Structure 1
Amino acid sequence: MKKLYYKLRINALGLLLISFVLGMVLNSCKDDDDALNASMQITAVYLENADSDVPDRQVEFARLGQLLRIEGHGFTGLKKVYINGYSCYFNPVLVSDNSFIVSVNKNVPTTEADPSVRNTIQLVKDSGSYIYNFTIRAAAPTITGISNCMPNPGEPIIIYGVGLEEVTKVTFPGGVVVTDGIISDEEGEYCQLNMPTGVSDEGGSLFVEGANGGAYSANYFNYKQGLLLNFDDAGSQGSWGSSSSMITAEDLESAVIGEGNTSQGNYCRIPLAKQLPISAGKNRIAEVWTAGNGVDPDWSTLGISAETPVSECGVQFEIYVPNEWSGSGFLKICCQNGFNGGEWERDCYNYVPWIVDGEEVPFVTTGWQTVTIPFSEFYKSKASSDAWTTFADVQATHAAASYCNFGFYFENSDVKLSNVTGNANDETEFASQAISNLEIYIDNWRIVPIQTPAYSDFPEDDSETTPAE
C-alpha cells in the first residue's frame, strides 16, 4: 500500500512539474508573440559619434553617413529600416525591444527623395510598419565663392558652393536677413538673390541656410574698410612723368557699363583704347597707381591683424571684360612701384584668367565680378628665403619700399604655364600675340580678410561665430 502511495505521489509531482514547465513555455511563447505583435514607436533619436565631446547626443536631424541610436519600444522582430525610402543597415542581433543602432547610408536620397517618404524613418516587421518624421540632410554645405562682393543694392549676387539646395535664408553683415526671392540650383552648386539695403560697410561673412543646414562664406563681403582706391571717394590716384604707359585721372571713365552688376562711379580701363594695338612680347604697356608715399593709408589700419597668415588675407577688386580675352596678356598686381615689367617674382602677382586648368579658355564677364587673390599666391610668399608668412611681412615689405604705391600693369609677354601653376613640370608655353582690341575695366582695389568662420550643427556645445554680425 505504501509503495502505491509513494508511486502515486511521485506521479503527481511529475505531473505538477510538467505542468509548471509547460506553463512557462506557453507563457514565454505568449510573451514572444506579444513582443512580435507589439506596436512600434520611436521616442528619441541619438547621434553616435565617438569623436565628439557629446558621443551620444539626442538630435532632430542627421546627415548621410552618420550612425544613429533609435530609442522607443516594440522593436522586437524588426526586419527592415527605411530612411527616406532607402533600406539602411542595422544588426538584428543588437536589436532590443527598446533600442537599436542604424547607419544612414550615404546613398540615401535627400532633397531628391520622393515627397511621400522624404524626411522619414520607416520601421517594418511582420506584424506591421511604423513611420517617424525625422529630417535627413546631405553633407554640410560649403561656400566656395561669391560673384560680386561689393554690389549695388538691388543687384544680383551668386553664391557658389556645394550642398546649397533649397536655400531659404541668407544673413548679410550687419544682421540684414533675406528670405524672399532666393533662387537655388537643383544640384546645390549655387544660389542667387539680390543685394539688400543696409548691409554693413565693415563687411563680414554671408550665412546661408538651406535644406542641408548652414554655411558661412569668407568674411570679405562688402569689406570697405580695406579700400585702397575706388577712383571716387576712397584713396587717391597717383601719376607722374610723361610715359605713354601712365593712366591718369583724366583717363578714367564713368559711363554706366555692365549687365546685372553695373559700374560704380569712376573706373579704370586698362589698357586704354589709345594704348592699343599692342605688339607681342611687350611689358608695362599700361599702368595705374595709388598716390603712394605720405598719401596712401597705412596698411596696419585696414582692419587685419598683423598675425594673420598670408592665406587668410589678400587683394580684392572688381573686373569687367565684355569681350573675350584669350591667348595673350595679363594684369600684374604690384605691392610697390618697383617693377620694370615681366617679373614673376617678389611682391607681385600676375593675373591670367584665360588659363584654366592648364588650358586656354576665353575669359569674359556679363557684368562686374569680384576677383580675390590671397597674399599666399603672391610670389614673395613662395620665395626660397625670406618668404611672407603673415600680414606683418606684407606690411613690412610695402612700408620699406622706396615708392610704396599699389598698382596694376598690363603686360603682353610670353606666359609659361609653370609660372601660372607653380609646377615646374608644366612645360607648356603660351606665346604672346599682337592685341588690337581688348576691353578690361577694374575698380574698388582693397585689402581684405579671407577667413571663413567655423559652423557647427550643435552651437550650444561648440564655439561658433554668430551669423554675419
Structure 2
Amino acid sequence: MKAFFSFANACRFASLVTLMAGLFWLSGCQKEDVGAPPIVTQVRLLNPASKDSTFTSALPGTLIVIQGQHLDKTLNVFFNDFPAAFNPVYNTDENLIVSIPASTPTAVTAPSVSNKLRIVTTRGETTFDFTIVQAPPAITSISNENANPGETITIAGANFFGVSKVVFPGNLAVDSTQFTVNKEGTLLTVAVPKNLTQSGPLSMVATFGTVNTPAPINYSSGAGVLCNFDDQNTFQSWSIKMQNDAKLFPGTRGNYGYFSVKGIVGGNGEWWTEGRSLNTNPSVWVAPANLKNPVSDYALKFEIFVKAPWKTGTLQVMPSRTPMPTSYVYNYTPWKIGTASIDFTTPGWQTVTIPLTEFKTNNGLGESAPSLTALLGDTGSNAILMRLIADTDGMGEVSMAVDNIRVVSNKAK
C-alpha cells in the first residue's frame, strides 16, 4: 500500500515539475517577446490601393506605413537622423504611420546623410536602409520671360538644389558655374545667353529630374500674341500711345505701350482719355480647336515696367473693347499686399501672369468663366482692354509701360 502511494506521489510530482517547467518556459518566452527590440521588414504607402507596393526610397512629405514587429512602443522615428512626428494612437505592434518631414535632408542638400530610417522604442532601436530623394525642381515664375540676351533674370520656384544646368530655347545650356541659387533653393539667378534667338520652353536639369516651363520664353510674336506694339494688333484709338524710347524704359524691345497719368480726381472714370487705356482689335486668344479645354489651361501674360511709384488706382484687364456689366474682369493692383499698400515699382521689365480663371464677373469680384467660350466667344477671338480706374480718393502719378501681351498654355507638359 505504501509502495502504491509512493509511486502515485512520484507521478504527481513528475507531472507538477513538467507543468512548472512549461509555465517557466512560457513566462520566459513572454518576457523575451515583451523586451524585444523593433524590427522593420518593409515600407509601403498608406493608400490601401497601394498596400502591396513596397519601396526603399521616397520624397519628403510622403505619408508612409512602416511595417515590422515590436513597433507599438516607439518613442522616436528618424529619417537621415532628422526627427519625424507621428501619432502613437495609430501605432500598432506591426504598423507605424508617419509622414516624412518636408525638411528632411537629402544627399543633394547634405551629401553625408545616412540614407537610413531609424526607430527608437522603449526596448531598443533598429535601422532600415531607406533613401530620401530630392523632389524635382518646380518653376513658378520667371522675372522677365522676354529679357534681352545678356540680361539677368531670376527664376522662382522650389527644389533648386542639385540643379546642374538651365537650358534656354535652342538648346543653349548654362551650367551651374554660371548661375546662383539661394540657400532655400527657391530662387535661381542666371544671365540669358547672348546668342539666344529662338523661342520655346526653358528647362531646368537637376539630380532627381528635369522640369520645363509650360509656356515659351523669348516669345513676342506668333500664335496667341494679342499685341506687341510692333507688328501685332497695334490699334490705338482712344488709347495709350506707342513709344520706343529706350532711355525712358531701358531694356525695351522696339515699341511699347505707355501709360502716363497724374492727379486724376476721385470719381473720374474717363478711362478713355489719353494715357489711361489700351484698346486692341479682336485677335485669337485660344484656337477654336482648343475651346473645349478647361479655362485653367491658359494664362494671359505681358511684360510691365513701372517707373514712378504706383500706389493708388487699378489697372483693369478684360477680354473686351467695350466694357459691359457682364464683362469678365481682372483687377491688377500690385501695390496692394494683403491689407497693406506699398509704393510699387519694378527694377526693369517684369512678366505678369494672370490665369484665365482669375477673370471674373461683377467687376472682377464674382465668378470665373465656366468655359473658354463663355469668356471669349464661340471663335476664341476677342479684343483686350486695359484701363486705369481711379480710386474714390483719386489717382496719383502712374508712369508705366506694357508690352508683348499674349495668351499661352498654363498646363505643364
What TM-score, normalized to structure 1?
A: 0.64
Match of 1:393 among 371, 374, 378: 374
Amino acid at match of 1:390: S
For 1:92 and 1:440, locate their aligned partners in 2 and report how far apart those are by CA, in whole Å: 58
Q: Which runs of 5+ in 2 are unaligned?
A: none
Q: Does 1:271 align with 2:267?
A: no
Match of 2:394 among 410, 425, 432: 432
Q: State the aligned residue count.
A: 392
Match of 2:215 among 220, 243, 254: 220
Cα distance 1:81–1:439, how it changes in 2: closer, same or farther (>3 A)? same
For 1:310 and 1:444, locate their aligned partners in 2 and report how far apart those are by CA, in whole Å: 21
Any idea what SS the aligned residue of 2:399 has?
coil
Partner of 1:406: 384
Amino acid at match of 1:44: Q
Match of 1:231 among 229, 232, 246: 229
Amino acid at match of 1:414: A
Deviation at 1:305? Answer: 1.4
For 1:67 and 1:267, locate their aligned partners in 2 and report how far apart those are by CA, in whole Å: 56
For 1:200 and 1:24, locate their aligned partners in 2 and report how far apart those are by CA, in whole Å: 84
Match of 2:95 among 92, 101, 119: 101
Q: Does 1:132 align with 2:92?
A: no
Cα distance 1:239–1:86, how it changes in 2: closer, same or farther (>3 A)? closer
Any idea what SS the aligned residue of 1:58 has?
coil
Q: Does 1:253 align with 2:253?
A: no
Amino acid at match of 2:386: F
For 1:88 and 1:61, locate their aligned partners in 2 and report how far apart those are by CA, in whole Å: 17
Cα distance 1:126–1:408, how it changes in 2: closer, same or farther (>3 A)? closer
Cα distance 1:20–1:149, how it changes in 2: closer, same or farther (>3 A)? farther
For 2:355 and 2:120, locate their aligned partners in 1 and report how far apart those are by CA, in whole Å: 54
Deviation at 1:85? Answer: 3.5
Q: Deviations along 1:184-217, whole A, 9 cap, x unmatched?
A: 453x7x332437768984548x77979xx88979
For 1:239 and 1:159, locate their aligned partners in 2 and report how far apart those are by CA, in whole Å: 35
For 1:387 and 1:130, locate their aligned partners in 2 and report how far apart those are by CA, in whole Å: 54
For 2:362 and 2:110, locate their aligned partners in 1 and report how far apart those are by CA, in whole Å: 51
For 1:405 and 1:108, locate their aligned partners in 2 and report how far apart those are by CA, in whole Å: 45
Partner of 2:17: 19
For 2:263 and 2:364, locate their aligned partners in 1 and report how far apart those are by CA, in whole Å: 31
Q: Does 1:313 align with 2:298?
A: yes
Q: Is the Cα contact below 8 Å between 1:335 and 1:407 reproduced in 2?
A: yes
Amino acid at match of 1:253: D
Q: Is the Cα contact below 8 Å between 2:205 and 2:211 reproduced in 1?
A: yes
Amino acid at match of 2:50: V
Q: Deviations along 1:324-355, whole A, 9 cap, x unmatched?
A: 11124x4343534335xxx7762554433223
Q: Deviations along 1:264-308, whole A, 9 cap, x unmatched?
A: 512425225xxx555433532324454x36xx5x44439x81023
For 2:118 and 2:86, locate their aligned partners in 1 and report how far apart those are by CA, in whole Å: 10
Deviation at 1:104? Answer: 2.2
Q: Deviations along 1:9-63, whole A, 9 cap, x unmatched?
A: 222322322332233234335545655676765342122223xx31353132365
Partner of 1:9: 7
For 1:86 and 1:230, locate their aligned partners in 2 and report how far apart those are by CA, in whole Å: 52
Q: Is the Cα contact below 8 Å between 1:64 and 1:138 reproduced in 2?
A: no
Q: Deviations along 1:53-96, whole A, 9 cap, x unmatched?
A: 3135313236558351323x6x489553332345645479942x
User: Which structure shows the bigger proportion of residues in strand conformation?
Assistant: 2
Cα distance 1:333–1:89, how it changes in 2: closer, same or farther (>3 A)? closer
For 1:387 and 1:92, locate their aligned partners in 2 and report how far apart those are by CA, in whole Å: 42
Query: 1:275-314 alignment to 2 at 5 Å?
Result: 277=262, 279-280=264-265, 281=268, 282-284=270-272, 285-286=274-275, 287-290=277-280, 292=281, 296=283, 298-301=284-287, 305-314=290-299
Q: Which runs of 5+ in 1 are unaligned?
A: 416-429, 454-467
Deviation at 1:432? Answer: 0.9
Report the RMSD for the aligned CA atoms in angstroms: 4.8
Match of 1:364 among 337, 345, 348: 345
Q: Does 1:168 align with 2:162?
A: yes
Partner of 2:188: 192
Q: Is the Cα contact below 8 Å between 1:152 and 1:195 reproduced in 2?
A: no
Q: Is the Cα contact below 8 Å between 1:79 and 1:125 reproduced in 2?
A: yes
Match of 1:445 among 387, 393, 405: 405
Match of 1:48 among 33, 42, 46: 46
Q: Is the Cα contact below 8 Å between 2:73 and 2:123 reproduced in 1?
A: no
For 1:129 and 1:406, locate their aligned partners in 2 and report how far apart those are by CA, in whole Å: 66
What TM-score, normalized to structure 2?
A: 0.72
Deviation at 1:247? Answer: 1.4
Q: Does 1:123 align with 2:119?
A: yes
Deviation at 1:136? Answer: 5.6
Q: Is the Cα contact below 8 Å between 1:313 and 1:391 reproduced in 2?
A: no
For 2:74 and 2:363, locate their aligned partners in 1 and report how far apart those are by CA, in whole Å: 59
Cα distance 1:116–1:239, how it changes in 2: closer, same or farther (>3 A)? closer
Deviation at 1:140? Answer: 11
Cα distance 1:137–1:90, how it changes in 2: closer, same or farther (>3 A)? farther
Amino acid at match of 1:61: A
Q: Is the Cα contact below 8 Å between 1:47 and 1:67 reproduced in 2?
A: yes
Q: Is the Cα contact below 8 Å between 1:64 and 1:139 reproduced in 2?
A: no
Match of 1:326 among 311, 329, 346: 311
Partner of 1:81: 76
Deviation at 1:8? Answer: 2.6
Q: Does 1:57 align with 2:68?
A: no
For 2:290 and 2:362, locate their aligned partners in 1 and report how far apart those are by CA, in whole Å: 18
Any idea what SS the aligned residue of 1:238 has?
coil
Q: Is the Cα contact below 8 Å between 2:40 and 2:66 reproduced in 1?
A: no
Q: Is the Cα contact below 8 Å between 1:229 and 1:444 reproduced in 2?
A: yes
Amino acid at match of 1:148: N
Deviation at 1:313? Answer: 2.5
For 1:362 and 1:397, locate their aligned partners in 2 and report how far apart those are by CA, in whole Å: 41
Between the aligned residues of both structures, percent identity stands at 19
Q: Is the Cα contact below 8 Å between 1:159 and 1:192 reproduced in 2?
A: yes
